Amino acid sequence: MYASLLRRPDLTAGFVFLLALATIVGAWGFQVIGGYVPCELCYQERIPYYLGIPLALVALASAWFGGPAWLTRGALLLAGLVFAWGTYLAVYHTGAEYAWWPGPTECSSGGPTTATTGDLLDQISKIQVVSCTDVTWRMFGLSFAGWNSVVSLVLTLAGLYGAFFARITARTAAAPAH
């Protein structure tokens, strides 16, 4: 029973879409509600979500509405590849946090710029520079970047699985009755 559920492209695309959406909304929540300031690598790790979520949504819509198999598979394949890139970024960030390898030489949080000296001095006094190698939160021994590594890997595998192993059948018009 479960094996047949796993082979449905709409469920695979829906899983990728919902998990990716929940992950990025969670990141925004920690930032806005929790007051966590992301580092430069954290911002870079969000880019695959901004690309992968729409791709998963295209795959989901194609599967739901009987779109061509190449569209469903192609969108899932691209989503899987985008999240593979996200896995790379997250693993790199995690390794830098654990000092397994050096992190980026410059790591700062971005912000708006102004033209007046007074506003610029005011902004400088409020800037929070966050190092990409500092861990601000852990759960079960993993940091934000560590959890993103896990989630990105799951999204990669789900996208690739859906692209290569899901049973995609084209919907056909009802056959005329004899």
For 59-84, letters b (16+ CB in 10 Å) and e give bbbbbeeebebeebbbbbbbbbbbbb
Give dist(CA 151, CA 47) in Å, integer: 14
Is 19's pLDDT higher than 90? yes
Q: What is the predicted pLDDT for the residue at 116?
A: 62
Is 113's pLDDT higher than 60? no
pLDDT in tens, 69-111: 899 999 999 999 999 999 999 999 888 878 788 777 766 444 4
Percent helix / strand / coil, the chain, rounded to 5? 65, 0, 35
From residue 23, how far is each of 8, 40, 53, 89 by CA, in Å?
A: 23, 18, 10, 15
Q: What is the predicted pLDDT for the residue at 43?
A: 85
- Give Cα 164 to chain centroid, integer Å: 20
pLDDT band at 27 (very low <50, low <70, confident <90, very high): confident
pLDDT band at 175 (very low <50, low <70, confident <90, very high): very low
68 DSSP assignment: -
CATH class entry, domain 10-165: mainly alpha
Q: What is the predicted pLDDT for the residue at 17?
A: 95
The 10 Å Cβ neighbour count of residue 20 is: 30
